[in-house]
Amino acid sequence: MSYAPILFDLDGTLIDSLADLTTALNLLRGELNLSPVTIPAVRACVGDGATLLVRRVLGDDLFSPSHLQRFLTLYSEHLAEETTLYPGIRTCLDRFSDRPLAVVTNKPYQLTMDLLHALDLNRYFAVVIGGDSCPVKKPDPTPIKVALHRLDATAAGAIMIGDHHTDLKSGQAAGLDVCFCTWGFGDDGGCKPNHRVDNATELLQVLL
Q: What is the distance between the alpha carbons of residues 71 and 84, in angstroms, rounded to a whole number?
A: 20
- The yes-or-no answer on residue 177 being catalytic is no
Identity of the residue numbered 49: G
Phi, psi of 101, deg, nearest 5 = -120, 150
Residues 6 or more apart whose CB falls under 8 angstroms from that of 194 comprise 159, 177, 178, 179
Residues 6 or more apart whose CB falls under 8 angstroms from that of 181 comprise 12, 13, 161, 162, 163, 197, 203
Which one from 9, 16, 20, 163 is the annotated catalytic residue? 9
Residues designated as active site: 9
